[in-house]
Amino acid sequence: MSNFEYIISSLPYLTADFKYQEGQGFKSTVDQIRENLSEHDTAVLDFVLSGYDADVLGPDFYAQALSHPLKFVREFFRFDLNLRNAKVRYLNRALGRPDNQDLITGEGTEEDQDLDIDGYRFSGGEFEELQKVEDALASTSLLGREKALDDISWEKITQLETFHYFDLTAVLAYIAKLHIVNRWLALDQEKGRKLLRQLVNEVRGTFKGVNYTE
């Protein structure tokens, strides 16, 4: 059985100049969490982590993700699919390419048309964050654009984890936000530390039964 309360309560104490200790990082943090998950929950975690591997992403992966039994996995990767496709469409317009070039869709080929969702026939559905994403992509600042897109992702993850406290959804949401933090620790240490403090405060606030910030 997964020990969710232990995972949440054992988050590191953070200071203003927080840095990962030598030999620690995203992977070691995930490994520590994995040690306290059941075999079933570990398998779900590993599936979610595989969604960060560019070599894995494609129609087969999204077909599995969008039919996953856990709602967080379905909705998180539906958002991820729509976000990626929005970026591709924006790039296509900027380069004067066909609008649908390089999109990940569930249409498949002629041979795939009779397959069910375990094959290809899936849809990203309505993308309610589209306007925010397009506004972010229009930014002339590269870092500003990335920060705005990550803010949208963070907000979506927060929405999906609402009312989830000591369960697998809470852990997966933490990992998804930690992945954003890890990117910013590499890009901008100050922004990365700020996001990490925000993440830990959010989770510790949940653990204490309140919602608080520094």
The model's pLDDT over 125-168, given as tens digits with 9 standing for 90+, comes to 889 999 999 999 998 888 888 889 999 999 999 999 988 878 89
pLDDT in the model for residue 79: 95
pLDDT at 121: 64
Write out pLDDT tens, residues 75-85.
999 999 999 99
**Residue 12: per-residue pLDDT:** 53
What average pLDDT does range 14-31 have in this prediction? Answer: 62
Domain with 155 in it = 4-207
Structural domain tally of the chain? 1
The Cα 33–Cα 13 span in angstroms is: 16
DSSP state of 69: S
- Give the pLDDT confidence score for residue 7 in this predicted structure: 74
Within a domain: 23: yes
pLDDT band at 15 (very low <50, low <70, confident <90, very high): very low
DSSP character at residue 108: -
In a domain, 74, yes or no: yes
| Domain assignment of residue 195, yes or no | yes
In a domain, 45, yes or no: yes
Cα four-point dihedral sign 125, 129, 130, 136: negative
**Helices 142-160 and 168-187, packing angle to 10 deg:** 170
Render pLDDT for 24-61 as a digit per residue (tens, 0 to 9): 667 888 888 888 899 999 999 999 999 999 889 888 89
- 57 within some domain: yes
- CB 197 within 8 Å of CB 14: yes
For residues 16 and 191, which has the higher predicted lDDT (pLDDT)?
Answer: 191
The pLDDT value recorded for residue 33 is 87
Residue 47 lies in a domain: yes
Give domain status of residue 212, yes or no: no
CB 45 within 8 A of CB 27: no
Whether 62 and 81 have beta carbons less than 8 Å apart is answered as yes
pLDDT at 32: 83
Quick one: pLDDT at residue 181?
82
In a domain, residue 214? The reply is no
**Using CA atoms, how far apart are residues 201 and 11, in angstroms rounded to an integer?**
10
Q: What is the pLDDT confidence band of residue 194, given thresholds at 50, 70 and 90?
A: confident
Q: What is the pLDDT of residues 84-124, one digit of tens each?
A: 999 999 889 888 889 888 888 876 555 555 555 545 567 78
Q: What is the pLDDT of residue 212?
A: 35
